[in-house]
A and B are shown apart, each in its own frame.
Chain A
Amino acid sequence: MRFDSLIEKIHSCDEKTVAKVITQIEEDKNFRKKISLALKPYYTCGISIGITGIQSSGKSTLINKLIPYFLKKKKKIGIIAIDPTSGISSGSILCDRIRIGNFLDKNLFIRSVATRDCFGGISSSTATIVNILKIAGKDIVIVETIGAGQTDTRIKRVVDRVVVVVTPDSIDNIGILKAGLLEIADVFVLNKFDMDQAKETYDKIKNYVKEFNFKVPIIKTIATKGIGIKKLAEELINKWKKEESS
């Protein structure tokens, strides 16, 4: 039971330990398996939210606006921001922190993660890192995927709820029917609602949701101006409350 003292330290949210453990999870597959098993008996009440969407749809900006809202509600937040690893050099540039400001709040823990050798929009260590942050007492763990393509749906398997961010210029009548990213949404966000075609796109998504009796809310946002953020945040928290009481 050599993990006991380590888990104890994670539980008290000793940031240095949490950071080191995440590094080891990324580096060492065996360690990842062992610690995942060791973490199983621990109960956590945090929720995890995945935010996905195509490149430059506004995922980081949305997260940046959601953070202050959740912090004000006295929630502890963990962010896992994923960016792609180069297929050529196996290096990467992780720059989600640029848009996610405010690094100093004691209730906020941000970790940038590279996909390394994993396909599907996240890294193979993501699920374990989500658990680690929940054990560290985070009420909300937000996972930001890479700019996702149609098959990058792996996020669905590691978080409780998936927010799919779309923009007015990224949806067409046939594209919307295809398998892939749009299917995994628990919440749709139509960001950049101040763009042309925004209204038409909204109707398209609404029809799509209605036709398939797909009970998914569609939230209009303009992330850069903070419009619609409150509604999104409440949607995410309320669903959680409902589930807790049921």
Chain B
Amino acid sequence: MKSRKSKVIRILLAKVGLDGHDRGIKFIARVLKDSGFEVIYTGLHKSPEEIVRASLQEDVDGIGVSVLSGAHIEIFSRIIKLMKKYKIEDKILFAGGIIPTEDIDKLKKIGVAEIFIPGATSIDIIKFLKNAI
């Protein structure tokens, strides 16, 4: 086992609303675990407020939300609003899922740090997290 000199990175992974496609997020959870992250996976059907409050209590460094339902703009706007309310806007918020390229800039503008669309590799995600945190 590697010695733990540096801080362990904690990431919360979540799915919002009625979207039940969790194969991708479970894969990411495993990949992050295998790269030494502590992953808190909250399961399906959570509300933005539940995700934000869980992130506060878990004191995570990053929040990854997977959306495949098409409601990404609404969901992320709400999450960012709530992150401000709970004063945890310093945490890195990243997105994954089927998100049209024309929406990527919109999401970045409101505060989503990175968006991973189909085709993104797990190495991209790990690299991004290690750089950002």
Measured CB to CB, the residues of A under 8 A from B are: 15-16, 18-20, 22-23, 26-27, 85-95, 97-99, 103-104, 109-112, 114, 116-117
Whether the pair B33, A19 counts as a contact (CB closer than 8 A) is: no
| CB atoms of B58 and A112 under 8 A apart | yes
Q: How far is the CA of A3 from the CA of B86 in the complex (A)?
A: 24
CB of B35 closer than 8 Å to a CB of A? yes
Contact with A19, one of B4, B38, B58 (Cβ below 8 angstroms): B58
B88 at the interface (CB under 8 A from A): yes
How far is B61's CA from A19's CA once the two chains are assembled, in angstroms? 12
Query: Are B35 and A104 in contact, with the CB atoms below 8 A?
Result: no
Q: In the complex the two chains form, is B2's CB within 8 Å of A98's CB?
A: no
Query: Across the two chains, which residue of chain B brings its CB closest to A21?
Result: B59
Q: Which of B7, B29, B41 contacts A27 (CB 8 A)?
A: B7
Q: A93-B30, A95-B41 given as contacts; is B87 within 8 A of A16 (CB)?
A: yes
Expressed in whole angstroms, the Cα–Cα distance for A23 and B1 within the complex equals: 21
A103-B50 CB under 8 A given contacts A19-B58, A97-B43, A112-B58: yes
Q: Which residues in A have their C-beta under 8 angstroms from that of B20?
A: none
- Expressed in whole angstroms, the minimum distance between the Cβ of B115 and any Cβ of chain A is 23
Interface of B (DSSP majority class):
mixed
- Residues of A near B33 (CB, < 8 A) are 86, 89, 91-93
Q: Across the A-B interface, give the 9 residue pairs with the lowest CB-CB distance, nearest first.
A: A98-B43, A19-B59, A91-B33, A103-B50, A91-B36, A95-B41, A23-B59, A97-B42, A94-B40
Q: What is the size, in residues, of chain B's interface with A at 8 Å between Cβ atoms?
A: 33
CA distance A15 to B55 in the complex (A): 11
Contact between A90 and B1, CB atoms less than 8 A apart = yes
Q: B54 within 8 Å of A by Cβ?
A: yes
Residues of B within 8 A of A23 (CB): 10, 59
- Known A-B contacts: A92-B33, A103-B42. Give 5 more (CB < 8 A): A89-B36, A93-B39, A94-B39, A97-B43, A116-B4
B51 to chain A, nearest CB (A): 8
Q: How far is the CB of A21 from chain B (nearest CB, A)?
A: 9
Given contacts A27-B8, A112-B58, contact A91 B53 (CB under 8 A): no
Indicate if the CB atoms of A95 and B1 lie closer than 8 Å: no
How far is B34's CA from A90's CA once the two chains are assembled, in angstroms?
A: 8
A-B contact list, 8 entries, CB within 8 Å: A19-B57, A91-B33, A93-B33, A98-B43, A103-B53, A110-B54, A110-B58, A112-B58
Q: Are B32 and A16 in contact, CB atoms less than 8 angstroms apart? A: no
Q: Complex: how many Å from CA A116 to CA B29?
A: 17
Q: Given A15-B56, A93-B33, A103–B46 Cβ distance below 8 Å?
A: yes
